[in-house]
Amino acid sequence: MITDPQGPLHDVRVLDCSRVLAGPFCGQLLGDLGAEVIKVERPGTGDDTRGWGPPFAGELSAYFLSCNRNKQSVALDLSKPAGLDVFYRLAAKSDILLENFRSASADKLGLSPEKLLAHNPRLIICSISGYGRTGPLSDVPGYDFAIQGLSGLMSITGPVDGPPSKVGVAITDILTGFYAATAVLACLHARKTSGHGYAIDLALLDCAVASQVNMAQAYLTSGAVPPRQGNAHLQIVPYQAFATQDDWLILAVGNDSQWQRFCQAVERPDWSADPRFTTNTLRVQNRHELIPLLEGLFRTRSAAAWRELLDRADIPNAPVWNYAQLFASEQAPVRGLRVTVRDAAGRPVDLIGSPVHLTGAALPAPTIAPRLGQDTAAVLTRVLGIDQKTLQQLRRDDVTG
């Protein structure tokens, strides 16, 4: 099979002006696929997440490392006319621009989508905010924790009888990053025919609601607010974590034939014939009778013993691992879950690997997230042709870092 020597997006330039997580995560995805990603940051401070630690790898926080690989960093003060001029010139030579400025700030700086499209009519602009560019919350800052609360996500997450809980990572930012990457790539494709640019308005709240799929749809269909299920499933039974003699085990019986095999494997054929449990619909309706029976059963053996038995019967199951167990597993190196790169001093740094495995193109080797402004001179010289004298003047005027 023919393999392209470069990634699918090797001829795409991205200006990543976003901060924190949703936009940077989108930019990282595009960089993983071969795009040239130029991260534009404030001189002196840069992206907020540079300081979100410990832990740190040298001067780079683990948080910043997690969403800024395969990028270059340009430090540029957009509040100064000379900095804004350089930015416009970079935008004119770019395909995609990612930003999460507040609407009022973008308008004040001259960075509204309308203004940017005037400088580059073919530019694809993805504006990410907490609540979108329209509506009564349009200029309210968006934070993942708040979005998890407002979106309904926390109402369905956590113990049945406990408080509402957030997901352990800033999941609404990550989901928005995925939606952003999908949207900009769709516009990039459309531009080949249309010839013009696009302005995308993405809100964390909208993406969080859309990502709750069956749970949010269950409410719209029935009018009933779904209760928290803990580690169980609203519409599939048994599909949850059970305590064994020594650890937790996930049982995921997804259909009635698996339920029949499960009952045979655990030597409870009476359960498979019980009219309360023969179909998934009946098991959901009678979960309060079935689950206590299963809880008692699983406490009779170790997790390893249950896994061996269930694997033989081809019943979906899994342990509950922490990160140490995950990265020590045999699966981790095969799938590249951990990759080792070198920092500026040549020291090895472990990063999370890209999940994309592609046949037909060579994806770029991962590079460590950049130090603040490390590529300013190189990018401005290569992309804009700015000479050394002008670069020095920009530095003296604190326009660049």
* CATH number of the domain bearing residue 99: 3.40.50.10540
Mean pLDDT of 328-350: 94
Give the pLDDT confidence of 140-151 residue by residue, as tens digits: 999 999 999 999
Question: Does 221 reside within a domain?
Answer: no
- Quick one: pLDDT at residue 102? 83
Binned at pLDDT 50, 70 and 90, residue 110 comes out as confident
Residue 38 sits in the same domain as residue 172:
yes
- Quick one: pLDDT at residue 124? 98
47 is catalytic: no
Q: Judge whether 6 and 36 are in contact, CB under 8 Å.
A: no
Domain span at 252: 239-243+248-319
Question: Does 325 reside within a domain?
Answer: no
- Quick one: pLDDT at residue 104? 80
Residue 336 sits in the same domain as residue 297:
no
Check residue 18 and give left, alpha or beta (phi > 0: left; psi -120 to 50: alpha): beta
Question: Does 175 reside within a domain?
Answer: yes
Residue 308 sits in the same domain as residue 359:
no
What do you get for the CA distance between the two ends of the chain, in Å? 45
Residue 279 sits in the same domain as residue 351:
no
Mean pLDDT of 360-386: 95
- Quick one: pLDDT at residue 29? 98
Residue 289 sits in the same domain as residue 342:
no
| 1 pLDDT above the threshold of 80 | no
Residue 262 sits in the same domain as residue 292:
yes
Question: Does 23 reside within a domain?
Answer: yes
Among residues 12, 198, 150, 27, the alpha carbon closest in space to that of 100 is found at: 27
The percentage of the chain sitting over the pLDDT mark of 70, rounded to a whole number, equals 100
pTM of the model: 0.92
Question: Does 219 reside within a domain?
Answer: no
CB atoms within 10 A of CB 36: 21
Binned at pLDDT 50, 70 and 90, residue 292 comes out as very high
- Answer with the one of 295, 319, 343 that is the final residue of a domain: 319
Which residues are within 8 A (CB) of 142 and not within 5 positions of it... i.e. 6 or more apart? 129, 130, 131, 203, 204, 205
Mean pLDDT of 15-25: 97
Question: Does 68 reside within a domain?
Answer: yes
Residue 298 sits in the same domain as residue 344:
no
Question: Does 79 reside within a domain?
Answer: yes
Residue 252 sits in the same domain as residue 126:
no
Residue 182 sits in the same domain as residue 302:
no
- Quick one: pLDDT at residue 3? 85
Q: 188-194, long-range: CB within 8 Å, 24+ apart, which pairs?
A: 188/12, 188/95, 188/96, 188/124, 191/122, 191/124
Residue 272 sits in the same domain as residue 185:
no
Alpha-helix runs per DSSP H in 266-302:
269-273, 280-285, 287-298
Binned at pLDDT 50, 70 and 90, residue 401 comes out as confident
| 326 pLDDT above the threshold of 90 | yes
| 374 pLDDT above the threshold of 90 | yes
CATH (domain of 283): 3.30.1540.10
| 286 pLDDT above the threshold of 90 | yes
Q: Which of 173, 247, 256, 375 is catalytic?
A: 173
- Quick one: pLDDT at residue 40? 97
More confident residue, 258 or 108: 258
Residue 384 sits in the same domain as residue 302:
no
Question: Does 217 reside within a domain?
Answer: no
- Answer with the one of 284, 319, 354 that is the final residue of a domain: 319
- Quick one: pLDDT at residue 108? 83
- Quick one: pLDDT at residue 353? 96
| 344 pLDDT above the threshold of 90 | no
Residue 311 sits in the same domain as residue 338:
no
- Phi and psi of 339, rounded to 5°? -125, 150
How many domains would you assign to the chain? 2
| 322 pLDDT above the threshold of 90 | yes
Give the pLDDT confidence of 34-51 residue by residue, as tens digits: 999 999 999 999 999 999
Binned at pLDDT 50, 70 and 90, residue 173 comes out as very high
- Answer with the one of 319, 348, 372 that is the final residue of a domain: 319
Give the pLDDT confidence of 126-168 residue by residue, as tens digits: 999 999 999 999 889 999 999 999 999 999 999 999 899 999 9
Residue 218: C-alpha distances to residues 224, 237, 280 (Å): 8, 16, 16
- Residue 82 corresponds to which tokens in the numbers above? 């000379």
